[in-house]
Homo-oligomer: A and B are copies of this chain.
Amino acid sequence: MLIDAHGHYTTVPAGLRVFRALQISQMGKPSKRGVSISDDEIRASLEKGQLKLMDERGIEVMLISPMASAMGHHFGSALISRHWTEVNNDLIDRVCRLFPTRFIGVCSLPQSPGVSPRECADELERCVREFGFVGCNLNPDPSGGYWTDPPLGDEWWYPLYEKLQALDVPAMIHASATCNPAFHTVGSHYLNVDSTAFLQLMDSRVFRDFPTLRFILAHGGGNVPYQAARYKALSIIHEWEPFDDFIKHFYWDTTVYSQEAMELLIKVVGVDHIIYASEMLGGVNAIDPVTARSFDENKRLVDAVPWLTGPDRTKIFEENVRKAYPRLVQSRSVRP
């Protein structure tokens, strides 16, 4: 079985965009009402998009979460963020009910700059217990590129970590759009956030305080595998947990798109902590002129790593994601 652990509902029907536009233009009167999307629209949006590509590429199941760039935690008040997040998570639940053997839900969180992550715990619990979602996306910088909240090692985040650990679900570190002109959302900002979050956690006692907490690092970990020796040196200088032990608190997804990068990632992290993902349809939705194939068609890169065994690939394509997301075993689509 091939499971893609990192998909976003980027092909949402227009009704969701209409809701957001009205929410923004009528910010003085916050409301959750007014989302008009039919089941047929949801079906069509996926059958022409993700499902079509999943069938072409042999992906049986995808972990799907709301559009990441559109989370927009920096926009409006905490209540605006809550309404928008709940509407998006409700829509993911509808997707999973319409295609119960193909999609498994991952929620976004109603974060807001300067607002305690404690305020996200209820929505996480709702999505896990009521919808059967298996994880969440956590944005380390709800300000959208100004980095005004405390780092992930700060106790500021602990109420959310307590809930994650209690529910036994992982959080994928994932930024939203930047509103700072210094950054490009899916280029510099996403990748900076991945690496910055990794280092914030290195320089912390989070995993001593939450020994079973797990994070997913997307986008191949930003720069971490490439700069691994730099992180190793910093670990030694600062007397942090040794790098080779520390990286095991994470599962690393394969959303890199060159053969060299895929091999570096798997070599540095080790096959036991890699989970297959293509970030489809996401930031690299373009045809590579050299191969004439889409950049995000990246299973072939894993297939082409010469030193991986069959059992190694089974871990990457299926087994590790079950370890990263223990609640997968209760899901209709991927019961072992």
Smallest CB-CB separation from A262: which chain B residue? Answer: B229
Residues of B within 8 A of A267 (CB): 260
- In the complex the two chains form, is A231's CB within 8 Å of B187's CB? yes
- Taking residues whose C-beta sits less than 8 angstroms from the other chain, chain A's interface range is 35 or more
Q: Which of B192, B225, B229 contacts A295 (CB 8 A)?
A: B229
Q: How far is the CA of A258 from the CA of B229 in the complex (A)?
A: 6
- In the complex the two chains form, is A264's CB within 8 Å of B256's CB? no
Nearest Cβ on chain B to A57's Cβ, whole angstroms? 17
Smallest CB-CB separation from A197: which chain B residue? Answer: B188
Residues of B within 8 A of A219 (CB): 227, 230
Q: How far is the CA of A286 from the CA of B261 in the complex (A)?
A: 26
- With A226-B264, A257-B233 given, is the CB distance from A192 to B196 under 8 Å? yes
Q: How far is the CA of A219 from the CA of B231 in the complex (A)?
A: 12
- In the complex the two chains form, is A258's CB within 8 Å of B187's CB? no
Q: Which of B150, B200, B228, B284 contacts A258 (CB 8 A)?
A: B228
Instruction: Give the number of times this chain occurs in the complex, counting copies.
Output: 2
Residues of B within 8 A of A231 (CB): 187
Report A215-256 CB contacts with B as 1/0, cut-off 8 Å: 000011011011111111110110000000000000000001
Q: How far is the CA of A314 from the CA of B229 in the complex (A)?
A: 25
Is A292 part of the contact surface with B, judged by Cβ < 8 Å? no
- With A145-B147, A236-B286, A236-B287 given, is the CB distance from A227 to B186 under 8 Å? no
Residues of B within 8 A of A191 (CB): 195, 223, 227, 230
- In the complex the two chains form, is A182's CB within 8 Å of B147's CB? yes
Is A157 part of the contact surface with B, judged by Cβ < 8 Å? no
- In the complex the two chains form, is B150's CB within 8 Å of A181's CB? yes
Q: How far is the CA of A283 from the CA of B289 in the complex (A)?
A: 38
Residues of B within 8 A of A285 (CB): 233, 237
Nearest Cβ on chain B to A268's Cβ, whole angstroms? 7
Residues of B within 8 A of A284 (CB): 229-230, 233-234
Q: How far is the CA of A231 from the CA of B284 in the complex (A)?
A: 9
Q: How far is the CA of A264 from the CA of B184 in the complex (A)?
A: 24
Of A150, A220, A226, A261, which is in contact with the most chain B CB atoms at under 10 Å from its CB? A226
Nearest Cβ on chain B to A179's Cβ, whole angstroms? 11
21 contacts between A and B (CB under 8 A): A141-B182, A147-B147, A150-B181, A182-B200, A184-B199, A184-B200, A184-B203, A184-B234, A187-B231, A191-B195, A192-B195, A223-B227, A227-B256, A229-B288, A229-B295, A230-B257, A230-B295, A232-B295, A233-B285, A234-B284, A264-B264
Closest 8 CB pairs of A and B: A229-B257, A223-B223, A226-B226, A233-B284, A147-B182, A229-B258, A188-B196, A192-B192
Given contacts A187-B202, A225-B226, 18 further A-B contacts (CB under 8 A): A147-B183, A184-B203, A187-B234, A188-B195, A191-B223, A192-B196, A195-B223, A219-B227, A222-B223, A222-B227, A228-B258, A230-B256, A230-B284, A232-B295, A233-B286, A234-B283, A237-B285, A260-B267
